[in-house]
Structure 1
Amino acid sequence: MLTRKQRDLLAFIHKRVQRDGVPPSFDEMKDALDLRSKSGIHRLITALEERGFIRRLAHRARAIEITRLPEDLAAGSTFVPQVIEGSAAAPAPAPARAMRVETYSQDLPVMGRIAAGVPIEAISEVSHHVAVPGQMLDRGGEHYALEVHGDSMIDAGINDGDIVVIREQTTADNGEIVVALVEGHEATLKRYRKTNGMIALEAANQAYETRLLRDDQVQVQGRLVGLIRSY
């Protein structure tokens, strides 16, 4: 049984993972739940982990994995639990009202490296391919992958060397993490905001300043929908 605050936090994390492909920061959680300090978030996270609703992944910045949802949150949700390969024994019958698990994957082209830091030259060549779980992909959209270079998005859970999965699109909503082409030749991965005819490309690392550019200087090339990390 979850308290109201525990349920609200789990719902907020789930919504942000579904939207951005990565969990929110502790500051964003604190603001969403209207708490005064991050210590309250730490207590809620610990309680959710102890009850088996989330799992914190070691050695990863802000890495939280949702392992299950309460029935009221799971109803009508696109949440897909992680599939773990086991022994070759025959599987047990699915319990009543079990959620359907999609296991297909799709090979996506990795279009070189994308800067999560100072912008690098625009990306145009396929370096290799990577298998991506189908539940990361938006139905009906075209996707590609990029290797992250730099640390400007570490507070969004995106580290140097990660593979980001991008849905091709030319528009974005405020707050979404996008691949932005700057002045036709520099590509960067940043959080997108548009206000008063200007585009703000925000880093998720206090060491980097927000870049303010005219609308005609920025072209959205796609939106972040997933992330893959190797160890």
Structure 2
Amino acid sequence: MARKTNTREHILDFIRTFRRDNGYSPSVREVASHCGVKSPSVVQYHLEQLREAGLITKDKIRSRSIGVVGDEEGPAQVPLLGVIAAGQPINVPSREKPNAGDQRMIDVPRDIMRKGRQLFALQVRGNSMVDAMIADSDIVIMEQADSVNNGEVAACWLESEQEVTLKKIYYEKDQKIRLQPCNPYMLPMFHDADNVRVQGRVVAVIRLNR
């Protein structure tokens, strides 16, 4: 007969799964809720026992600081799918997703890998976004999205031009979209809304050694 999983093992398994799925540690209350423990103080007791057993690490002051000993703490990885223009739009040779074996992978902090978040990387070409701290040759980490809020930095596919560009997006009157560079020497671009397809929003910028 299989041995029933005890509360402490249940807590440890939940912490490990939560960290893998969300990129950060659960709170004590989240542990209590998921594991069916009524009192946070009881969770604290089990966490202390796990810490003394050398199975977890925990900062007594900082919240969401539970770590699982032996778990991979290195960076996560996202695929680098190509180049995007921060300047005038550029042609994209192929919009088809490349084979996984052909993709270069980019290291990213695990704390941006929230559950369900689909991320990819693009390398920037041009200097139209320098005032947004995005320079030529930087890597932008994008979250897949088909819409963004007014003023967000987005990767936009221009249907009629068959080109892609990285700009701040603003929704204007009369079904127009303004793609705004963050460079005082460059002018905005105006397009009909049906000509612009949002592909993702910027969630992080990585500056490579140059």
The answer to whether the aligner puts 1:195 opposite 2:159 as a matched pair is no
CA 1:137–1:225: 2 relative to 1, 3 Å: farther
* Aligned positions of 1:73-222 closer than 5 A: 95-100=59-64, 103-122=73-92, 124=95, 125=98, 127-183=103-159, 185-196=162-173, 197-222=175-200
Q: Which amino acid aligns with 2:135?
A: N
SS at match of 1:171: coil
TM, length-normalised to structure 1: 0.56
Structure 1 residues 230 and 181, CA gap change in structure 2 (3 angstroms): same
* Higher Cα radius of gyration: 2
Give the drift of 1:132.
1.1
Aligned residue identity for 1:136: I
Deviation at 1:94, TM superposition (A): 5.6
3-state secondary structure, aligned to 1:208? coil
- Spell out, residue by residue over 1:21-48, the C-alpha distance to the aligned partner (whole angstroms, 9 max, x if none): xxxxxxxxxxxxxxxxxxxxxxxxxxxx
What is the alpha-carbon distance in structure 1 between the residues aligned to residue 172 and residue 61 of structure 2?
Answer: 45
Q: How many residues align?
A: 139
Cα separation, 2, equivalents of 1:191 and 1:155: 11
Structure 1 residue 167: deviation in Å?
0.4
Secondary structure of the residue that 2:63 maps to in structure 1?
coil
TM-aligned CA deviation for residue 133 of structure 1: 1.0
Instruction: Check the 8 A contact 1:137/1:167 in 2, yes or no.
Output: no
Structure 1 residue identity aligned to 2:149? D
Instruction: Describe the superposition over 1:120-141 as per-residue Cα deviations: whole angstroms up to 9, x where unpaired.
Output: 1136346511111122334312
Unaligned runs of 5+ in 1: 1-92
**Which of 201, 204, 207 in structure 2 is aligned with 1:223?**
201
RMSD between aligned alpha carbons? 2.0
For 1:214 and 1:178, locate their aligned partners in 2 and report how far apart those are by CA, in whole Å.
16
The letter for the 1-side match of 2:196 is: V
3-state SS in 1 of match to 2:111: helix
- Normalised to the residue count of structure 2, the TM-score between the two structures is 0.61
Deviation at 1:211, TM superposition (A): 0.5
Q: 1-side partners of 2:208 and 2:183: how far apart?
A: 22
Shift in alpha-carbon separation, 1:163–1:171, aligned structure 2, 3 A: same
Look up the SS of the partner of 1:117 in the other structure.
Answer: coil
Question: In structure 2, what is the Cα distance between the partners aligned to 1:98 and 1:222?
Answer: 33
